[in-house]
Amino acid sequence: MEEYKGITGSEALIRALLAEDVDTIFGYPGGAIMPVFDKLYDFQQELRHILVRHEQGAVHAAQGYARACGRTGVVIVTSGPGATNVITGVADAMIDSTPLVVISGQVPANLLGTDAFQETDVVGITLPITKWSYQVRRPEDIAWAVARAFYIAGTGRPGPVVLDFTKTAQVGKIDFKYEKCSFIRSYTPIPTISEEKLNEAAELINKAKKPFMVYGQGVTLSHAEAELKAFLDKTGIPAAATLLGLSALPSDYKHYKGMLGMHGNIGPNVKTNECDVLIAIGMRFDDRVTGDVNKYARQAKIIHIDIDAAEIGKIIPVDVGILGDAKEVLTRLLPKVEQKEYNDWEDEFDKCAIVERARVIEYEVNPEKGDINMGEVIRCVSIVSHSDAIVVTDVGQNQMMGARYSTFAQTRSMITSGGLGTMGFGLPAAIGAKIACPERAVCFFSGDGGVQMSIQEFGTIMQEHCGVKIIILNNNWLGNVRQWQQMFFEERYSQTRMTNPDFMKISEAYGFKHRRVTRREDLKSAVVEMLADNDSPFVLEVCVIEDGMVFPMIPPGKGVTEIMLNAKEWF
């Protein structure tokens, strides 16, 4: 690596980012980070900076970028409110295992602890929600800190790292030489896989009569999609995805049985409590997947494969815990398992699917009359896009409908806020996804509530000429909260009715192509128009049924077999 003599810390930071192959930064300038932005002026050909309209938009956009292309997202903001505005996104990235390096400005080192203008304890605030948080006080520490940050963020179970850069470090002069980090004492991102545990798992799998595989985002993060498919091809085991695991397998793959969880498909939920061996890989047994843990897979031998030791046995007791990278575990497990088919067992999933299709899906996607349903909008987009779009959702009914009724042909095609459930996530995340993958259609589904939490990012889309397709499913309610109020709070609709602006006029103000659909017969032509030009932003507002509900549903506190088909009927 070339050495640079007598450069500022700000230049050293930028050269360090370039050495880590960073090509895109999401950020917002301010006083305490001004030296870095000043130096960035000299590197506009090498580094693309996306000027968002709010720092939370920067971190969510970086998340979308990272989730779409698999690279570490980078954020640069100023101190004080700039840094605190990224906290939600940092917490979101931590719980959803998204690799980020977030750089915040900070007051000069000699003013630390004096309550100087726009000073906050960024390290103290972010320590609980990051893999590593560190304050850079001297320019001499920049190369070491940045290299360490990227190594920690992108290895093992990925996650966010925060580097708090004092102005002292930014303006000081140093001789700079960069070396990437590949080792940190006491940090073992890729654990050694136990051969004994592999053998134990293989024995259970080979003896199983009704095995079932459940997988999460860990498969995608490990780039283990091909290995998962090879494993299922050989063993014939039916499989289902968590919300964040969606698209790791194509939707039409023969052994894929749908989505797990509160609003998941009936078969995967019910058969969880009928399988004799449950193989969980790259997932953490979130409460939205398990329901009442005392009623979850009590009959099954459980094999849990995860790269994070803290997850194995944390929620669900396991019979065999394999600590390791999903790709490597599946590769080493494959020759140990037998070639099999489970046709009768798979038929049991299919019988559940027939019931769900008749009692839930057909009503949602092919209604004969009445107002437009959310599900039929999402299914229409999937059909017209040939299941090839990157689907980004906000949080709420739009998210669950997007997960249920989108279909996927390739991996890294579902981006949503899982563990934190962050409203306002989707619009900036869609921007990041489109910047990461400009050749792909990026379709963002939102409710009328969620889109207004980050609607200022329309300005970012306008400035960057970013061809995001924005589908607003407008029911004039905070729909998911309204659904819970209807079902569990005696229809006391407290603070969930929305009075909305004219989204078409807002779209026009930003220069976006736009269309509002109120009639079912106009829906397909509007979607075709929206997707006709991949490079132009488009806002499609669809006025959907106001009291629509997301079903099936496992009510909170219930087990995975206690499934409501509608507001009155149980499976």
The sheet with strand 48-51 has its strands ordered as 48-51, 24-27, 73-77, 100-106, 160-166, 132-136
For 332-347, the pLDDT digits (tens) are 999 999 999 999 999 9
**Residue 36 · residue 105 · CB < 8 Å:** yes
The three-point CA angle 239-243-247 to 5° equals 65
Mean pLDDT across the chain: 98
Q: Is residue 329 pLDDT above 90, yes or no?
A: yes
CATH pick for 371-543 out of 3.40.50.720, 3.40.50.300, 3.40.50.970, 3.40.190.10 = 3.40.50.970
Assess whether the region 3-177 and the region 195-348 belong to the same CATH fold.
Answer: yes
Which pLDDT band holds residue 392 (cuts at 50, 70, 90)?
very high
The third-level CATH classification (topology) of the domain covering 195-348 is: Rossmann fold (3.40.50)
Residue ranges of domains in the chain: 3-177, 195-348, 371-543
What superfamily would CATH give domain 3-177? Thiamin diphosphate (ThDP)-binding fold, Pyr/PP domains (3.40.50.970)
pLDDT at 2: 85
* Calpha distance 541→517 (Å, rounded): 6
**Helix H segments across 393-549?**
397-405, 426-436, 448-453, 458-464, 479-488, 503-509, 523-531
Q: Is residue 1 pLDDT above 80, yes or no?
A: no
Three-state SS for 145?
helix
**Residue 68 · residue 19 · CB < 8 Å:** no
pLDDT at 162: 98
Structure tokens at 135: 């304050």
**Residue 51: other Cβ atoms inside 10 A:** 15
Residue 472 bridge partners (DSSP): 446, 541
Element (H, E) at 257: strand 256-259
Ramachandran bin of 178, using left for φ above 0, alpha for ψ from -120 to 50, beta for the remaining angles? beta
Amino acid sitting at position 568: K
Mean pLDDT within 204-223: 98
For 23-46, the pLDDT digits (tens) are 999 999 999 999 999 999 999 999
DSSP string, 328-374: HHHHHHGGGSPP---HHHHHHHHHHHHHHIIIIIHHHHS-SSSSBPH
pLDDT at 524: 98
For 86-130, the pLDDT digits (tens) are 999 999 999 999 999 999 999 999 999 999 999 999 999 999 999
For 246-297, the pLDDT digits (tens) are 999 999 999 999 999 999 999 999 999 999 999 999 999 999 999 999 999 9
Three-state SS for 320?
strand
For 363-372, the pLDDT digits (tens) are 999 998 999 9
Cis peptide leading into residue 537 (ω within 30°): no
* Calpha distance 383→211 (Å, rounded): 32
Read off the pTM: 0.97
**Residue 52 · residue 58 · CB < 8 Å:** yes
